[in-house]
């Protein structure tokens, strides 16, 4: 199903990516890209700290009714992410030798406290 910019799910996803950007900035990372995409896939965030690059999949949910956000990262999603990363590395003007693939899961209930779960090296 195609999501338009005004789609409530897309808006919620964008909000999650905004929260993720703040999360990484607060931890001393530099944001290089947000929502980088090519025909093979999308990379939600590309961040860097101390010369190490992190390709980050961001998953956000309002509640745990359907499980933890990171549980929704499927093999197919990881395959598309890996392909997008390959394209990014080929096209990047930056020489990237040291990188990892991570996930940031956010539970953001309406009016409640947010919970962040940072999972490193998911690929």
CATH number of domain containing 111: 3.40.1350.10
Angle (CA) 85 88 89, round 5°: 85
Longest dimension (CA), the chain: 42
pLDDT bracket for residue 97 (50, 70, 90):
confident
For 15-48, the pLDDT digits (tens) are: 888 999 999 999 999 999 999 999 999 999 999 9
Alpha-carbon distance 21 to 47, whole Å? Answer: 9
20 in a structural domain: yes
For 60-86, the pLDDT digits (tens) are: 988 887 788 888 899 999 999 999 999
48 in a structural domain: yes
3 in a structural domain: no
42 in a structural domain: yes
Query: Residue 67's pLDDT is what?
Result: 82
2 in a structural domain: no
Range of the domain at 99: 8-119
Domain count within the chain: 1
81 in a structural domain: yes
Alpha-carbon distance 36 to 111, whole Å? Answer: 30
Q: Please give the structure tokens belonging to residue 121.
A: 């090296």
């Amino acid at each position: 199903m195609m999501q338009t910019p005004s789609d409530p799910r897309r808006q919620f996803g964008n909000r999650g990516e905004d929260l993720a950007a703040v999360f990484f900035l607060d931890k001393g990372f530099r944001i290089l890209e947000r929502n980088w995409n090519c025909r093979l896939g999308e990379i939600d965030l590309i961040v860097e700290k101390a010369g190490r690059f992190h390709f980050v999949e961001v998953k956000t949910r309002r509640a745990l009714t359907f499980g933890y956000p990171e549980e929704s990262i499927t093999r197919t999603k990881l395959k598309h992410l890996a392909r997008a990363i390959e394209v990014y590395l080929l096209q990047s003007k930056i020489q990237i030798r040291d990188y990892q693939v991570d996930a940031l899961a956010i539970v953001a209930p309406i009016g409640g406290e947010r919970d962040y779960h940072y999972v490193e090296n998911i690929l």
